[in-house]
Amino acid sequence: MRMRPTLRWTPEEDLPPGTGDVEPVVGALRAGGVLVLSGAGISTESGIPDYRGEGGSLSRHTPMTYQEFTGSARARRRYWARSHLGWRTFGRARPNAGHAAVAALQRHGLVSAVITQNVDGLHQAAGSVRVVDLHGRLDRVVCLDCGTLGPRADLARRLEEANPGFAPVAAGINPDGDADLTDAQVGDFRVVPCARCGGVLKPDVVFFGEAVPRERVERCRSLVRDASALLVLGSSLTVMSGLRFVRQAAEAGKPVLIVNRDPTRGDRLAVTRVALPLGAALTSVTERLGVPLPDLTSRDSSFIS
């Protein structure tokens, strides 16, 4: 079963206003057992843009759908050319203060687990454990024919060999790792097949229009059931893949707290929405809780070795 992609959501005018008060978030975390649901907004301070915020990539870029990717060799060529170029930047992104705060809160037993809608691996790079990558990981590649999983770094080397000198200047990079390239810049970029069976390779991520694996959804639902509260960080909750967990928590009577500068599709279900930049908000939260942040400078936290 495939989901119809929801790319945009228009906020209602009468949504509850955001606040600058982080105390409700502090109170929920102090009790412990809080489940974090993060979106693209937590990675913007690492240089990875979000989809729907101010200057978000959807204003200039429509993500490729699963149906396009699987149905057209030309679409796959365009995707892999853009993704290969974007990987050079995306793969070197480092976790920021927001990721560091989540890792610190988890280490001190205040955060139980993390569900992330991001594919960048930055929560793990910052030291978080018990992380569910809801939409997969961009540092892995899967063959659609034989199912073999492999590291993105190996594919990157193969693509470099197949396309020597490929270095167009991109207009920007997107949350899914794509670089903005014109068809002329893509040119005759060569796509390489699965080294094992010769089949079609796809990043091990959930594309727009593709369903999240059922067992992954059930694992997340279990985490929601076990949590004392749900803390949403940097997500507009436009797509159902994340919104359903907010609805589940609210229906179970668990507090939902949101930190996001812009209104979200889940605001009516939340106790509060803190409309502050994530890094600053979460740093303030950890300070009030007396939780020191980890030193990220010593971590080798990039995908690219």
* Distance in angstroms (rounded) separating the CA atoms of residues 138 and 297: 23
Residue 51 contacts residue 117 (beta carbons within 8 Å): no
Residue 271 contacts residue 287 (beta carbons within 8 Å): no
Sign of CA dihedral 52, 57, 61, 63: negative
pLDDT tens readout for residues 49-81? 875 455 444 444 577 899 999 999 999 999 999
CATH architecture of 56-92+138-205: 2-Layer Sandwich (3.30)
Per-residue pLDDT of the chain (305 residues; tens, 9 = 90+): 334 445 556 777 788 889 999 999 999 999 999 999 999 999 999 988 875 455 444 444 577 899 999 999 999 999 999 999 988 878 788 999 999 999 999 999 999 999 999 999 999 999 999 999 999 999 999 999 999 999 999 999 999 999 999 988 877 777 777 888 888 999 999 999 999 999 999 999 999 889 999 999 999 999 999 999 999 999 999 989 999 999 999 999 999 999 999 999 999 999 999 999 999 999 999 999 999 997 776 555 555 44
Residue 200 contacts residue 57 (beta carbons within 8 Å): no
Provide the pLDDT for residue 64. Answer: 86
pLDDT tens readout for residues 87-131? 887 878 899 999 999 999 999 999 999 999 999 999 999 999 999
Whether 139 has a binding-site annotation, put simply, is no
Q: List the domain boundaries for the chain.
A: 20-48+96-135+212-299, 56-92+138-205
Backbone angles phi and psi of 217, in degrees to 5 = -60, -45
Dig out the tokens for 261 from the structure. 């500068």
Degrees to nearest 5, angle at CA 174 with 63 and 65: 15
Whether 42 has a binding-site annotation, put simply, is yes
The contacts of residue 288 (CB under 8 Å, 6+ apart) are 22, 23, 26
Cβ count within 10 A of residue 53: 19
Give the DSSP letter string of 190-215: PPP--TTTS--EEEEE--BT-PPPHH
| Alpha carbon separation from 46 to 41, 99, 139, 284 (Å, rounded) | 10, 10, 17, 19
Strand 256-259 to strand 229-233: parallel, antiparallel, or no bridges (unpaired)? Answer: parallel
Whether 50 has a binding-site annotation, put simply, is yes
Whether 210 has a binding-site annotation, put simply, is no
Q: Where do the H-state alpha helices sit in the chain?
A: 23-30, 66-71, 73-90, 97-107, 122-125, 152-162, 183-186, 214-226, 240-251, 278-289
Residues assigned a catalytic role: 135
Provide the pLDDT for residue 57. Answer: 43
Provide the pLDDT for residue 303. Answer: 53
Whether 66 has a binding-site annotation, put simply, is no
Whether 117 has a binding-site annotation, put simply, is yes
Provide the pLDDT for residue 63. Answer: 79
* Distance in angstroms (rounded) separating the CA atoms of residues 273 and 198: 49
pTM: 0.89
Whether 220 has a binding-site annotation, put simply, is no
CATH architecture of 20-48+96-135+212-299: 3-Layer(aba) Sandwich (3.40)
Whether 198 has a binding-site annotation, put simply, is no
| Alpha carbon separation from 109 to 10, 42, 50, 246 (Å, rounded) | 37, 21, 29, 22
Give the DSSP letter string of 8-30: --PPPTTSPPPBS--HHHHHHHH
Provide the pLDDT for residue 4. Answer: 43
